[in-house]
A and B are shown apart, each in its own frame.
Chain A
């Protein structure tokens, strides 16, 4: 272990660093069609140190992990492992270079034993080239014992272990090839408090072994507990780094959110009426607890929170997709208890889900059929579809959204992501709802399409509709909402009026930092 003073000296004079970084990235960029995921990013990981990677959703953390683990190739830039430049050719190749990742949900093989998981791909062999089962079990048990996880039997099927123990197996796998760089991607997201404690003991052990650890977390208490250094990403760029001990939480929050205005939000003159939707004490056995809020006519209500805070689950309950254990939903003065999506659509609530591909459009169907899908009861007559009516409906709503398509008979699968999103929104508008719930409406779409979606949202409320917008993007929340509900760990943490609201307040509320 190094002293903080030595580290600081190393930081001040990179040329005489106490230790050469085990892994360093410089000038790494990566783009996807229409999206710049990483731009000129640099990062160094030192032996025996934990570096926390911090950033909002969409800041580029996942892309970075995928580059480090060989899943994506960077467009530009250099990766050095122990000073040698490497071009990672795939996951296996990264693994051979001693880079290993432990994900939120472990990516191991449930139906194989612990020993098999640890040694998959590099199992000890007998003289004639068969797997040496006995040696494999013994060595796996040794590794587990060395890292203080002797309670895990190497013969157990992985399926029978809890997530915390699966993480241990993933670490054992890293140890078994003498991995020097361990990436932990939100490893605590699914763990109990006790398990988190055990995981941190393990991190301390790995530090002692001289591993370089990249720790990705949204939770500030964890970062301050185990990280030595931090790096902050914002919009695909590295915007700050330093020693955790020298930096306050508020400084880090400021780095996360402070940004140049890259996007103009539509001017609105909110015309807010009486209450439309009242949710009172809505609870679910596991996902959310006593959630109460009110949505008024003509209002955009933002829902902010960390991933997993329970926002989507609350919305799915309102949309009839998830059951509830307690609480009530009142829409326009009437108690409703939707049991199916059809119930809530009939009541005038539509839910536009987050995953456009999986839950949104029906690829292979033309645009007009996608638009008319939830409105078939209206566009058909005595059980017979009227295609002309469907076309008319689709034209009305796609034109309002400025959809770019050669014809309404075009397969939605051939449209860009942004235009697909417009089809999804058109589809829901066509049901003529009172309330529209947009879950991450602009996630993963390009700036131009984002602006169109925002302009359209403004138009919706102008026409008297009410909108609930679940978003993890602060500029969007601040730029579009009239009021903001912040959720944390399944509960409503705070409700704010947007007047004079700043990003830091929201992030603090979402992360549970007491100002």
Chain B
């Protein structure tokens, strides 16, 4: 599997390099390190969200509520900041992640204890969280005037030559890489995605593991709630409306199998970067946003077709065995 995956990731790296190369032919400035760092910074939130989503998708589930969770948590931390500007930012971050995790735990409990399919649960909470955002804000929004300088400034600060926001993405990449490759939990996430039945016999609690995945994706959505609100300096009901599809698109392009059990941190990162480059480069070369959507869509289909081809060979072997048994 890892050979195929590596191959797949290399394909994505090549596609991204090709894209950057083509753009650079017309706008050499685009490929300069400084600009690429900016593109990375602009894509940071998507990268972090895609990593959280990946953990859920690995377990054969999906979290459609991430963008709504982000909006609700973003609104709550913005209101906290507006009303208690003295609350330090680290505490705001803890608040964001805690609220996000609680919302994610709500999804997780429904999936775990009631056995409702994740797509149904999170379709419901997608609407609920979005509605709650409107309710807690009383139908208004929080803008720059009501946010403290620290609240807005933290992630714009520079650290070792990179904006702090980029460092959040780097930290998330490191965290998820270690989680998935170096912890028993990470191994369990893959195992229940590939073969939940075998996982049960191995002593893995499938429901509980899914629950943890939802808590993680929730905490990530919450963190991004703060990052988003402070980056775009607005907390409103419509924040990140429909963004769950972009997050899932990044995962799919990155080779994460919707059927569960297949995917890597590198894939999620590349998938998010692919979309990030499209959205930041195409306006530069004067391509309309509608073309951007068409290109993203084509990339999604191409990724799915490539992945399906990669997996089909295994399927045949299983079928043959099933017949022989």
A and B found bound together: yes
Is A131 part of the contact surface with B, judged by Cβ < 8 Å?
Answer: no
Given A341-B200, A380-B184, the answer on whether A417 and B205 have CB atoms closer than 8 Å is: no
B183 touches A385 (CB 8 A): yes
Is A376 part of the contact surface with B, judged by Cβ < 8 Å?
Answer: yes
Q: Which of B2, B205, B324 has the most CB of A within 10 A?
A: B324
Given A373-B202, A413-B314, A417-B321, the answer on whether A365 and B184 have CB atoms closer than 8 Å is: no
Provide the main secondary structure of the chain B interface: helix
Cα distance, A366 to B3, chains bound together (Å): 11
B194: which A residues are within 8 A, CB to CB? Answer: 362-365
Give the contact-size bracket for chain B. Answer: 20 to 34
B residues 214-259 with Cβ under 8 Å of A?
A: none
Given A321-B201, A341-B203, the answer on whether A364 and B262 have CB atoms closer than 8 Å is: yes
Least Cβ–Cβ distance between A317 and chain B, in angstroms = 14
B187 touches A33 (CB 8 A): no
Cα distance, A77 to B17, chains bound together (Å): 59
Q: Choose one: B201, B314, B321; the contact of A353 (CB below 8 Å).
A: B201
Chain A 383-413 near chain B by CB (<8 Å), digits 1 or 0 = 1110000000000000000000000010101
B205 touches A342 (CB 8 A): yes
Q: Choose one: B2, B181, B184, B262; the contact of A376 (CB below 8 Å).
A: B184
A369 touches B187 (CB 8 A): yes
B187: which A residues are within 8 A, CB to CB? Answer: 369, 373, 376, 385
A32 touches B324 (CB 8 A): yes
A384 touches B324 (CB 8 A): no
Cα distance, A320 to B41, chains bound together (Å): 50
A360 touches B203 (CB 8 A): no
B203 touches A366 (CB 8 A): no
Q: Choose one: B183, B205, B320; the contact of A33 (CB below 8 Å).
A: B320
Chain B interfacial positions (CB closer than 8 Å to A): 1-2, 181-184, 186-188, 190-191, 194-195, 197-205, 261-262, 314, 317-318, 320-325
Q: List 20 A-B contacts (CB under 8 A).
A: A32-B323, A33-B320, A342-B203, A353-B201, A358-B195, A358-B197, A360-B201, A362-B190, A366-B2, A373-B187, A373-B191, A380-B184, A383-B184, A384-B183, A385-B187, A414-B317, A417-B321, A443-B325, A444-B324, A444-B325
Q: Which 4 interchain pairs have the tightest Cβ spacing?
A: A342-B203, A32-B324, A444-B325, A376-B184
Given contacts A444-B321, A444-B324, 8 further A-B contacts (CB under 8 A): A32-B324, A33-B320, A340-B205, A341-B202, A359-B201, A365-B194, A376-B184, A411-B314
Chain A interfacial positions (CB closer than 8 Å to B): 32-35, 72, 319, 321, 340-342, 345, 351, 353, 355, 357-366, 369, 373-374, 376-377, 380, 383-385, 409, 411, 413-414, 417, 427, 443-444
